[in-house]
Structure 1
Amino acid sequence: MAKSPTALSLETGMLAFARSVQITEGLFYATVSGNPETLTPVEVLEKGVRGQTSQDNAKDKAGLSNPQSVEYAIVPQRHDRVLLSFSVRFMPLSLRPHACNNTGVGAAYERLASAYRTAGGYRTLALLYLWNIANARFAWRNRFQSDAMSVRVETGDGTVLVFDPFLLSLDIPASFDELAAALTEGEPERLDELITGVAHGLSNGDQNAFVLMVEWHATMEPGQEIFPSQEYVRESNKDEKPSRVLAKLPTLYAGRELMQASMHSQKIGAALRHIDIWHGSEEHEGPIAVNPFGGVQETGNVLRKPETKKSFYHLRAKAEALITGIETANGPDEISGDAHFVMANLIRGGVFGASGKKAEANG
């Protein structure tokens, strides 16, 4: 039975939101202490190694030599620092669907986003995104390769803030005061402006993006290994490729073309999206990357399975309660975690069409 035409619904057969946080590919450079002008692209190279089989299904080859070729990246000689740089565009693309085949549902999403903006919800998410920039989560394994590092953030108007990632937790979201305490360069007033800028970029009606340039600086020893993203190699191509293929982009340096180590924009994005602090699961402590079912790639856990009734699709099915709950909230502290999670998914973007039966029930 179709719902009443006046009933609020966020479900329809064709529905998509464009990604609101657009990130460039990250590039690795080697630098020299005291000479920040030196920027040497970190090159991806190939080498042959002779390991030993160690997997459980090795059978008659267990413990035998396992020669293979792998790609690797290291800090070049006469360099003692590493730089990872990228930029982020925060755009207001969660304010309305990118594609929707139901005008009533489209209007309901606009009402949802408008209420969330009015209640200050976008500022809450802006603080969480900046926490994951300032704590250098985006460096992933490289973050544990150095005992001295900093994150430099520059806005389009030239404002610069520098954070000490070691003063911030990866498990407990930072408050404004904790982010301010992690500053090694810049004033708390500029930090407040930065949070406001990100929130405005995500929610302004004039469609203007807010852009940040981000640099991770870390002290490392010459010859120390760096960990770029790793490429997925299809089974059909495995015999033609090294057993480990790293992400890289061609660049010109010192008159020759080389392959520069890079971090996938998707991997940086996954780090910044580690803001789902509302999953409430006892299986996993700390934040996870925002996705409709709360999947955790590192462990294979799914924290928001349909049976938990915490998935994006379960929560958005309660459109009336979701929207009116935000509209009656007196500030961001009164917005429910469920509402923050739903809006974070819309910012993430994706195809959110309902199943055929649900679409038919909603007219």
Structure 2
Amino acid sequence: MTTKATVFKKLPGVLAITRRINVTDCLFFSRMPDGSLKPLPVTRSGLRGTQNINKKATGDRQEVSNIQLTDSAKTDVEATSVVVKMGVSFYPLSNGLNSCALSKTDDESLLSEFKVSFTDFLDRSATESFISAGLQEVANRYARNIANGRWLWRNRQYAFTVAVTVQCGDDVMTFDALKTPLNQFGNYTADELKLGAYIASCLAGHAQHKLQVQAVMNFGEGMNASMEVYPSQNYLGGDKPKGFARSLYAVGKSELNNSPDMMDLQSARLVGQAALRDTKVANALRTLDTWYTEFETNGLPISVEPCGANLDAQKPFRGNKDSSFAFMRQLNTLDVNSTEGMFMIAALIRGGVYSEGGDK
């Protein structure tokens, strides 16, 4: 460990942290009456909707019809429930420093001193013989966000029941997602603590575990068959074809016949298996930052982001003094069990580019 507390005026010109978590896409399945699982499809079809646009009247007759080509995802007509599956792995924090080099204007001492500061923070977070309370708390928060099904996004809101199971080797933990707190951390159940211990052991480099996660959603009697679910939505930008309402994320084989613009007008066509994109799931799992200054008034955890960027609020919740860029300059001054230290542990799990050129 270092004996001298160091606060850097700037970070190395080349600095990248590799994320310490990998998440697969979440695949949707219909559970059939015999218990088998059937891939839940995204289909593309046309419909005639209505125009409802909030705009000033011009005196011209407003078009009422809204002809659309859109994607939807619905369960099988015989489905008894919906099953969503994913895999999650965590990796040692000590292997996260991917690139660290000087820019042309950096002082040569910056690199060695920064690496000492970085290593000091990691050594105080976990070693071969112990795991800090700060690292364990971050791991417990990840465990809670797996258990409460936050990663199911809108689908969670419509379900009557959500049972989440996590398999780690021969060990299986089961959670009632709708009864697991969504916006508070603490008072963890025994299974949450067990899952948190598995996660912490991976982050500390004590073990390697692959978590197999499954959620079973029930939408109520008579509602499971031909029920719409909500995979990730694709962003098409300015190139969206005219009349194309919505594109949903799907994986696997498509029936769109290699159409160059992905527009096949032969009735409803299979786009692929419905899925939640891995990046969307990872965002939900790291929605555990209650350490930002506005939490007391906002009341909601936000996703761990360098500057606390939040799409719901359309604002960053962390400024120049409490961003991970600022804390990265003072790693060996941070208490790993403090709110700042736990945020930085979570930021290192997230990974990111922290390169900083020029004088700061």
- 2:307 pairs with 1:304: no
Q: Which position in structure 1 is the counterpart of 2:262? A: none
Q: Describe how 1:137-286 pairs up with structure 2 within 5 A.
A: 137-155=150-168, 157-176=169-188, 179-180=189-190, 188=191, 192-204=193-205, 209-220=208-219, 221=223, 222-236=225-239, 238-239=240-241, 242-251=244-253, 259-281=272-294, 282=296, 284-286=298-300
What secondary structure, in the 3-state scheme, does the structure 2 residue paired with 1:175 have? coil
Contact preservation (8 Å) 2:67, 2:243: no
Q: Which position in structure 1 is the counterpart of 2:67? A: 67
Contact preservation (8 Å) 2:305, 2:347: yes
Contact preservation (8 Å) 2:141, 2:196: no
- 2:52 pairs with 1:54: yes
TM-aligned CA deviation for residue 21 of structure 1: 0.8
- Residue type matched to 1:225 in 2? E
CA displacement, residues 228-273 of structure 1 (integer Å, 9 cap, x when unaligned) = 000111312x117832000001159xxxx86100110001101100
- 2:119 pairs with 1:116: no
- Residue type matched to 2:30 in 1? A
Take 1:194 and 1:52, find their aligned partners in 2: how far apart are those partners?
48
- 2:22 pairs with 1:22: yes
Take 1:74 and 1:58, find their aligned partners in 2: how far apart are those partners?
36
TM-aligned CA deviation for residue 225 of structure 1: 0.6
Contact preservation (8 Å) 2:162, 2:177: yes
- 2:82 pairs with 1:87: no
Take 1:126 and 1:6, find their aligned partners in 2: how far apart are those partners?
27
- Aligned pair count? 323
Contact preservation (8 Å) 2:16, 2:352: yes
Take 1:240 and 1:203, find their aligned partners in 2: how far apart are those partners?
51
Q: Which moved more, 1:38-47 or 1:8-17?
A: 8-17
TM-score, length of structure 1 as denominator length:
0.82
CA displacement, residues 27-62 of structure 1 (integer Å, 9 cap, x when unaligned) = 0000035x33x1111111112222233333475575
Q: Describe how 1:29-44 pairs up with structure 2 within 5 A.
A: 29-32=29-32, 35-36=34-35, 38-44=36-42
Contact preservation (8 Å) 1:153, 1:212: yes
C-alpha change, 1:284 and 1:57, in structure 2 (3 Å) is same
CA displacement, residues 82-141 of structure 1 (integer Å, 9 cap, x when unaligned) = 011000011114555111012321232111111012533221111000100100000000
Contact preservation (8 Å) 1:31, 1:81: yes
TM-aligned CA deviation for residue 147 of structure 1: 0.5
- 2:327 pairs with 1:315: yes
Take 1:124 and 1:273, find their aligned partners in 2: how far apart are those partners?
13
TM-score, length of structure 2 as denominator length:
0.82
- Residue type matched to 1:52 in 2? T
Q: Which moved more, 1:167-176 or 1:226-235?
A: 167-176
Q: Which position in structure 2 is the counterpart of 1:361? A: none
TM-aligned CA deviation for residue 299 of structure 1: 2.3
Take 2:5 and 2:140, find their aligned partners in 1: how far apart are those partners?
36
Take 1:241 and 1:350, find their aligned partners in 2: how far apart are those partners?
37
Contact preservation (8 Å) 2:5, 2:333: no
Q: Which position in structure 2 is the counterpart of 1:104? A: 113
- Residue type matched to 2:176 in 1? D
Take 1:215 and 1:316, find their aligned partners in 2: how far apart are those partners?
36
What secondary structure, in the 3-state scheme, does the structure 2 residue paired with 1:271 have? helix
Name the structure with the higher helix share. Answer: 1
Unpaired segments ≥5 residues, structure 1: 181-187, 327-334, 359-363
Unpaired segments ≥5 residues, structure 2: 102-110, 255-269
Q: What RMSD over aligned residues (CA atoms) do the two structures have, in Å?
A: 2.6
- Residue type matched to 1:227 in 2? Y
Contact preservation (8 Å) 1:96, 1:113: no
What secondary structure, in the 3-state scheme, does the structure 2 residue paired with 1:243 have? strand
Q: Which moved more, 1:108-117 or 1:133-142?
A: 108-117
